[in-house]
Structure 1
Amino acid sequence: MEKLIEEGFFSDRDLNCAETILHAANEVHGWNMSHDALLLSAGFGGGVGGQELLCGALTGGVMALGKLFVRDRGHESDLIKTITKDYFALFEKEMGHIDCAPLKEDHRTEKEGCRKVILASARAIDQIVEQYRNELA
């Protein structure tokens, strides 16, 4: 299975962090989600709509993990909760935070924006997919 981190998706697109992750997952996993469906991630950039709360790269990742691991609806099992918890832990271990404001302060640059944060999210997603491969929907 191709990995998000290897896709090279994170370069010349004018997308926020949440959009970048969901668009990359859509491409890598061949979901063929419509443009309208992908727009659902737009409001999560900037730490949920620019409030600098939960990181957009993480929220985009949660959307992607839901698509990967939920067969019908979230309440069908606790798997998505477990996976999300593990995903957040991997990301926080690498980046030190899960909220946008401190992530931007520590990792955002003028030249690359939040690329480092987006790539950390992609690495965490790839690790989760590998770890839970047998549970894929």
Structure 2
Amino acid sequence: MLKLENQLCFALVTAARNVVAIYRPILEPIGLTHPQYLVMLALWERSPRSLADLAADLALDPATVSPLVKRLEKEGLIARQRSSADERRLDIGLTEEGARLRERALDVPRQVMAAVQMDIDQITALRDGLSPFAGRTAL
């Protein structure tokens, strides 16, 4: 059992690294890194939203998401503004340019499926098979 090739953690870390490497050349033409793409996906689903809400959906700490938000803001894709409900809170929302970028990203999933030679059903089954590990902090 104590062989590297038998370890679930090693298989998952290696797979995650390889998946990100697959996304890199697909996202490069639209000007996003993989972490930035995840932030944009969340904002394309719902915008505006607070940093804490965005971080929770991404399963990351706000301190990890904050530099991503700042970079995307610098690139003109998102804007931070005071919440109308609570002036102490900054909401993160899409700019017009950020909303338009969604159209350019529509082909990303198809390109990823082609790169890994899997169809939507296979991708869905793989993703769903990982659900026992999603949201857990420790086993």
Give the alignment's TM-score, normalised by structure 2: 0.29
Q: Taking CA–CA contacts closer than 8 Å with sequence separation of 6 or more, which of the two structures ends up with the larger relative contact order?
A: 1
Give the alignment's TM-score, normalised by structure 1: 0.29
